[in-house]
Amino acid sequence: MSQAIHGAIGRRGFLAGTASAAAATAILVSGGAILKPSEAWGYEVKALKPGTMRTLVRMARDIYPHDRLADRFYVVAVKPQDEAAAKDPAIRNLLENGVATLDAAAKSKHGTPFVEVGWEADRVRLLRGMETDPFFQKVRGGLVTGLYNNQEVWPLFGYEGESASKGGYLERGFDDIEWL
Amino acid sequence: MAAQFDLNDDGLVVIVGSGAGGGTLGTQLALKGIRTVILEAGGRHEIEDFQNDEWGSFAQISWLDPRTTSGTWRVAKDFAGLPAWIVKAVGGSTIHWAGASLRFQPHEFKARTTYGEVAGANLLDWPITLEELEPYYARAEDRMGVTRTNGIPGLPGNNNFKVLKAGADKLGYKACHTGRMAINSQPRDGRASCRQIGFCFQGCKTGAKWSTLYAEIPKGEATGNLEVRPNCQVLKIEHDPQGKVTGVVYADGDGNLQRQKARVVAVAGNSIESPRLLLNSASNLFPEGLANSSGQVGRNYMRHMTGSVYGVFEDKVRMYRGTTMAGIVSDEARHDPYRGFVGGYEMETLSLGLPFMAAFLDPGAWGREFTSALDGYEHMAGMWLVGEDMPQERNGVTLHKETKDKYGMPVPNVHFDDHPNDVAMRNHAYRQGAELYNAVGAVRTFPTPPYPSTHNLGTNRMSERPRDGVINKWGQAHDVGNLFVSDGSQFTTGGAENPTLTIVALALRQADYIAEQMGRNAI
C-alpha cells in the first residue's frame, strides 16, 4: 500500500523542490501534495486541501501513536478519507470544517495551528475536547482499519498474518514459549 | 446426489437455516430417509474460499443485514448495527465457531430450582434433564469428533494455553486442559487433523474443525434426501385455517419470491432471525406472531456473560499461533453463590489478530494508554470468559417499527440490559483472569468488554407449560404441532458452556422425534 503514496508524485520532482535540511523531519506542503523528504515519499491529495491532509496525518498519529511506525503508514491510513472526500462533498466538508475547528481551538489556546502545537499532550487535550464530534469519530473510526489492517505494519507489531499456506504453526513454533 | 424438490411438494420437512441446529437436523433426517430441504439465507463458501484475514473473512461470511440495538449493554454503543457476530452462509456459525464442545452440568437444566427466585430474572427449569440428553450428547460428541471423548486425544497446547495453564497451576485451579474440542487432533471421519493455523474464527482451512458445511450436509446430500438452497431468505411461514403450517415464502438469490410447501417446518436461523421470522409471520389466527400465544417469542434473550482478559508479559507469547480456543479452566463453572452470584463461568483461551485486537480490545479508546497495549501485542496472552447469564423478559428481539430490510420486512431490534448477576459474575471473572495472568508475571492486564454476541440464546424457549415458553421438550411449538425450533433459541437457560454441542444434541434428539411423529402420522 505504501507504493500508492511513493508513486503519487514524481520522486525527481519533490527532491528538486523540497530538499532543505531544516525541513527533513517534517511533513511539508508543496503545491497540491504533502511530502516527507526524510522518508522519501509524497502524496498528492485528491479532494482535501494539502494542509488539511497534513493535519489529518498529525491527528492520526496523536490518536493512535506508535513511535515505531513511520509517518507513511499514517498517510496510508488517512488516504481513504481523502478518497471518500473526492466522492462525497459532505465528507469533504466534514473534514475541512473539522480541521478548521481544530485549528481554531489550537490558535485560541496555543497561538498556532494544530500541527505546530509542540507537545503531544497539548494536542491530545485539544482532540479530547472534540472526541464525540462526528468529525473526530469519522477520522478515528477510519484509522482502526486504515492503520491496523495494513499488512505492512503487522510485522512491526509481531503479527504474522496468514498462516494456512505455510502449513500453519504445527511445525513453526505454535508451542515455542520458553520463559514460563 | 443432492436432491432437487418441487416447490409444490407438500411432503417435505423445510428447515430454515443450515448451522449447528438446522444443518445437523437436516442431515440426520435425510439419513433417516426423510425428504428435507434447507433454505439458507447466505451463500455457499467452501473451505478453499475461507480467508486467513480477519476483516476480509468478516466481510465474506458475517451476517451484516441491517439490525438495530437498544439497552444499556456496551455493544449498543460501540457496534450499534452489529448486535451479533454470526455467520450468513451455508454452515451458519459452525464456520466461525471455535470448537469448544462442553456438556451442560446437571444443575444447569434446573436453574430455577437450583438458584431459587432471582429478582428480575425470568428463570425456569428446562423441561428435560441431563439424563435425558446424555445419550444424545454422546452421539453428538462421536459425530463431531470431540477431543477427550471416544478415546480421541486432546489437542496439543499452544503458547497461549501454556500461559493459561501455568497461571491456573499457580492459582490452584485443577480443571485446566486443552479442552473438549470438535477439532481433530488426529485424522477422523474423512477430515484432517489440526495444523495449528490459528484463524479458527475465519473458517478452518483444513476442515479439522467440525462444521455442518463439510462434516454434515454433504452426507445428507449423498442420500438423495437433502437439498440445500443457498441465498434463500425466508420471509414468512404460512399456515392453513386449522393453524398447521403449510410452507414458507422466501426470496431466492435473484430476489424473486417463492413459496415452498412443507409438511413440517423447522426454524433454525439463530436466536435473532428465528423469533424475527415467527413475529413476521403474524396472521389473523396468530396476531402476535406465529406460535406466540405465550407472548414469549423474542423474549428472554441471553448472550452469555462474556468478557475477555488480555495480559501483557515481559517476554513474547505469540498467542495467535495455533488453535484459538484449545485451553480451558473449568474451576469457576460450578454454582457457588458464596462468590456473590448464581451460576458459573468458564475461562477459555482466546486470541485475536492485530486487526481485530485494535477493534475489540477497548472499542472507541485512543491515545497512548490504548496504543501501548497494542505495542505489546506479541507479548500478549488472552482468555475469554463465558458464563451463564440471567434470562430477562425484557431482553430480546422485537420488530423495528420503521426500518425494513430490502424485502420490506421489519428488521430486528435487539435489546439487552445486563442483569446485576451478570455484572457480579463478570467482575469476578475479570478479577480471576487478571490474577491468573499476574501469577505468571503479567505486567499489565486488560478487562476487555464483551464482543458482539456469538452465543445468542433463549428467544423461543422450551417450557413444560405452554404459558411459560414457545416450544415443548422436543422443540415443537406449543401452539403449532408441525412447527419446530431447532437452534439455540430453544434454550430455557444458557448454562456456562459454549452452546453448540447442546444445540447439536438437541437436533439429533429432535430428528428422532420428528421421524417418529411422521411415522405415526401425528404430524
Q: How far is residue B461's CA from residue B430's CA, in Å, rounded to a whole number?
A: 29
- Determine how many CB atoms are found less than 10 A away from the CB of residue A25: 11
- Chain-chain contact of B353 with A68 (C-beta, under 8 angstroms): no
**Interior/surface letters B57-84, b for 16+ CB within 10 angstroms, e for the rest:** bbebbbbebebbbebebebbebbeebbb
Cell numbers at residue B471, please?
416450544
Domain B13-519 has CATH 3.50.50.60: yes
CB pairs A-B closer than 8 Å: 117
Phi and psi dihedrals of B425, rounded to 5? -65, -45
| High-pLDDT (> 90) share of chain B, % | 100
The verdict on A134 touching B (C-beta cutoff 8 Å) is no
Q: Is the pLDDT of residue A4 over 90?
A: no
Using alpha carbons, select from B448, B355, B416, B504 the residue that is nearest to residue B84: B416
pLDDT band at A14 (very low <50, low <70, confident <90, very high): very low
Using alpha carbons, select from B388, B166, B352 the residue that is nearest to residue A179: B166
B295-352: pLDDT as tens digits? 999 999 999 999 999 999 999 999 999 999 999 999 999 999 999 999 999 999 999 9
- Chain-chain contact of A161 with B55 (C-beta, under 8 angstroms): no
**Positive or negative CA dihedral for B403, B405, B409, B413?**
negative
The verdict on A119 touching B (C-beta cutoff 8 Å) is no
Enclosing H/E stretch for B384:
strand B380-387
- Chain-chain contact of A177 with B375 (C-beta, under 8 angstroms): no
- Determine how many CB atoms are found less than 10 A away from the CB of residue B128: 18
CB of B172 within 8 A of CB of B164? no
Q: Which residues contact B198 (CB under 8 A, 6 or more apart)?
A: A163, A168, A169, B52, B320, B321, B322, B323, B324, B351, B353
**Average of per-residue pLDDT values in chain B:** 98
Chain B residues closer than 8 Å to A149 by CB: 54-55, 355
CB of B406 within 8 A of CB of B473? no
Higher pLDDT among residues A4 and A160, named by residue: A160
- Chain-chain contact of B378 with A159 (C-beta, under 8 angstroms): yes
Cα B360 to its chain centre, rounded Å, is 20
CB of B478 within 8 A of CB of B469? yes
Q: Is the pLDDT of residue B427 over 70?
A: yes
CB of B475 within 8 A of CB of B490? yes
CB of B284 within 8 A of CB of B410? no
When CB atoms are compared, the residue of B163, B198, B316 closest to A163 is B198
Q: Distance from B184 to chain A by nearest Cα, in Å?
A: 13
Q: Distance from B340 to chain A by nearest Cα, in Å?
A: 33
The verdict on A97 touching B (C-beta cutoff 8 Å) is no
**Tell me, what's the pLDDT at A2?**
42
CB of B29 within 8 A of CB of B486? no
B264-304: pLDDT as tens digits? 999 999 999 999 999 999 999 999 999 999 999 999 999 99
Which of B48, B52, B165, B183 to mutate to test binding with chain A, by most A CBs within 10 Å of its CB? B52
Q: Distance from B376 to chain A by nearest Cα, in Å?
A: 8
Q: How far is residue B386's CA from residue B127's CA, in Å, rounded to a whole number?
A: 24
Question: Would strands B36-39 and B226-229 be described as parallel, antiparallel, or unpaired?
Answer: parallel
Which ipTM value was assigned to this complex? 0.95
Sequential DSSP letters for B151-202: TPPPPPP-HHHHHHHHHHHHHT---EES--BSB-SS-BTTBPPP-----GGG
The terminus-to-terminus CA distance of chain B in angstroms comes to: 27
Using alpha carbons, select from B488, B338, B349, B339 the residue that is nearest to residue B426: B339
Phi and psi dihedrals of A167, rounded to 5? 85, 20
**Tell me, what's the pLDDT at A25?**
64
Grid coordinates 501455568 are at which residue?
Answer: B166
Q: Is the pLDDT of residue A9 over 70?
A: no
Q: How far is residue A136's CA from residue A130's CA, in Å, rounded to a whole number?
A: 7
| High-pLDDT (> 70) share of chain B, % | 100
pLDDT band at A13 (very low <50, low <70, confident <90, very high): very low
- Chain-chain contact of B366 with A154 (C-beta, under 8 angstroms): no
| Mean of pLDDT values over B39-65 | 98
pLDDT band at B154 (very low <50, low <70, confident <90, very high): very high
Chain B residue with Cα closest to A138? B364
- Chain-chain contact of B162 with A176 (C-beta, under 8 angstroms): no
Domain boundaries, chain B: 13-519
- Per DSSP, chain A holds a count of helices (H) and strands (E) of 8, 3
